[in-house]
């Protein structure tokens, strides 16, 4: 993600290692750490991490990061007065 977006997330989430720099102007947001912190702040006392990585185990999981492009499907539903 762009560095400015990573810094924005950091300002919203407060102290923590949420974002780490990557190539110039870009970096990585640690989604697992963000989810764990948000659950903790919401009062969830026990969070279990499976330790599985979709990108690291392509034989078990499909990963958009490593196997793109792919087909997409979308559906929209709305009420019309």
pLDDT along the chain (81 residues), means of 10: 76 72 82 84 88 81 69 72 77
Residue whose structure tokens are 């969070």: 47
pLDDT at 43: 92
pLDDT at 75: 74
pTM for this prediction: 0.58
CA distances for 50 relative to 31, 32, 53, 75, angstroms:
14, 11, 9, 31
pLDDT at 20: 78
Q: In 3-state terms, the chain is what percent helix, strand and coil (to 5)?
A: 30, 10, 60
Bridging pattern class, strands 27-29 and 19-21: antiparallel
Rounded distance between C-alpha atoms, residue 32 and residue 38, angstroms = 10
In 3D, which of 26, 24, 23 has the Cα closest to residue 7?
26
């Amino acid at each position: 993600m762009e560095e400015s977006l990573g810094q924005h997330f950091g300002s919203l989430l407060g102290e923590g290692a949420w974002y780490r720099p990557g190539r110039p102007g870009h970096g990585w947001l640690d989604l697992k750490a963000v989810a764990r912190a948000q659950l903790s702040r919401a009062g969830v006392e026990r969070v279990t991490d499976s330790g599985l990585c979709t990108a690291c185990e392509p034989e078990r999981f499909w990963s958009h990061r490593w196997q793109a492009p792919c087909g997409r499907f979308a559906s929209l539903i709305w009420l019309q007065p």
